[in-house]
């Protein structure tokens, strides 16, 4: 009887120890569960904050983007690009380096500002191209302002400007506008975009000067025309040097002339060729060729400057050498 009682008391003690162990393990699991639940709640809270910030940024983008795309002033667009790139975007990057909700806000703002910066640069590129088309390529050299500028430049270069003449640089209006556009594009656009745009601006300025030399007012002589070209082309060459650009663009296109000829040949011989043979022949012999073409505005400027210098030398020396030629036997 005493042995049975001891065994029953041992079993009850073992059950109590097991129950205590289970309770301790339960308490530990509850503590871990509360900690894990807190972390999950933190993650869910962070995700909800990011989603809310994304919604605010999208709403801000929808409100600002139409105003940006309607902006027509090149100066205003350059200011917008400068503020977004050097101030707002840099501040968003610094904010993103922090932690917690502040970092999420910085990331959302960085994505928004990057989109707005791309839109601003695209709009600026479009407006610069429109200025080149409307104010340089379509410039009226017969307008009173253009004629006055030509007379001023020609008289100044030939020594017509005396002591009472107004000081300052003598640049043709299209040259001055083109250099101003290049300066704004260089400071606001990526290098790849600037290279293409600079070639277009330089090409338009060179063509404008050639047209101005042909349309000199008041019956200007060929000496005046060549002197105008030499002076203004030299200004262009000197002023574009700091931009350190190639001013050349290489374009690639597909030449389908062999493809068209092969299709005509197959169409004429469709009775003697199978469908499979026609397709094989078309693939083997009618592949379009890749044609590369390069437009070098700087090289074109150098060639026109060389021609203008040769014409100026010829125009300046001909009145002196013509009487001497009569004395030769």
For 146-158, the pLDDT digits (tens) are: 777 777 776 655 5
Q: What are the C-alpha distances in Å from 51 to residues 55, 69, 279?
A: 6, 27, 54
Greatest Cα-to-Cα distance within the chain, rounded to the nearest angstrom: 162
What is the Cα–Cα distance from 239 to 248, expressed in whole angstroms? 17
Instruction: Reply yes or no on whether the pLDDT at 106 is more than 90.
Output: no
Contact call for residues 157 and 227 (beta carbons, < 8 A): yes
pLDDT band for 12, please (50, 70, 90 cuts): low
Whats the size of the chain, residue-wise? 329
Contact call for residues 214 and 240 (beta carbons, < 8 A): no
Instruction: Reply yes or no on whether the pLDDT at 35 is more than 50.
Output: no
* Percent of the chain whose pLDDT exceeds 70: 67
Highest mean pLDDT among 51-65, 84-98, 180-194, 209-223: 180-194
pLDDT of residue 275: 56
- Identify which has the larger pLDDT, 293 or 175: 175
- Identify which has the larger pLDDT, 76 or 254: 76
DSSP state of 274: -
Q: What are the C-alpha distances in Å from 170 to residues 115, 153, 154, 212, 304?
A: 42, 6, 9, 15, 20
- Of 47-56, 69-78, 196-205, 206-215, minimum mean pLDDT range: 47-56
Contacts of 208 (CB under 8 A, 6+ apart): 136, 137, 139, 141, 172, 174, 175
End-to-end CA distance of the chain: 162
pLDDT band for 49, please (50, 70, 90 cuts): low
pLDDT of residue 185: 94
pLDDT band for 25, please (50, 70, 90 cuts): low
């Amino acid at each position: 009887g005493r042995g049975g009682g001891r065994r029953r008391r041992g079993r009850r003690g073992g059950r109590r120890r097991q129950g205590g162990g289970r309770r301790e393990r339960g308490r530990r699991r509850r503590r871990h569960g509360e900690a894990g639940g807190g972390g999950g709640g933190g993650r869910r809270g962070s995700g909800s904050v990011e989603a809310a910030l994304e919604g605010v940024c999208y709403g801000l983008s929808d409100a600002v983007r139409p105003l940006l795309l309607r902006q027509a002033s090149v100066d205003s667009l350059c200011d917008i690009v400068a503020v977004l790139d050097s101030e707002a975007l840099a501040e968003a990057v610094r904010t993103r380096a922090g932690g917690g909700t502040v970092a999420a806000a910085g990331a959302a703002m960085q994505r928004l500002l990057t989109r707005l910066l791309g839109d601003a640069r695209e709009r600026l590129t479009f407006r610069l191209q429109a200025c080149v088309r409307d104010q340089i390529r379509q410039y009226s050299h017969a307008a009173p302002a253009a004629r006055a500028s030509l007379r001023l430049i020609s008289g100044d270069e030939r020594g017509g400007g005396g002591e009472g003449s107004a000081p300052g640089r003598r640049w043709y209006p299209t040259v001055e506008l083109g250099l101003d556009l290049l300066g704004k594009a260089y400071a606001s656009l990526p290098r790849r975009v600037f290279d293409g745009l600079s070639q277009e601006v330089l090409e338009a300025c060179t063509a404008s000067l050639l047209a101005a030399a042909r349309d000199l007012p008041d019956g200007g002589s060929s000496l005046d025309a060549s002197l105008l070209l030499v002076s203004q082309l030299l200004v262009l060459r000197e002023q574009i040097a700091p931009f350190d650009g190639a001013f050349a663009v290489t374009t690639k296109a597909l030449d389908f002339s062999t493809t068209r000829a092969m299709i005509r040949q197959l169409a004429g011989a469709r009775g003697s060729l199978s469908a499979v043979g026609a397709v094989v022949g078309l693939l083997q012999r009618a592949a379009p060729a890749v044609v590369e073409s390069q437009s070098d505005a700087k090289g074109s400027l150098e060639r026109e400057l060389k021609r203008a210098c040769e014409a100026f030398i010829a125009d300046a020396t001909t009145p002196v050498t013509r009487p001497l030629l009569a004395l030769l036997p």
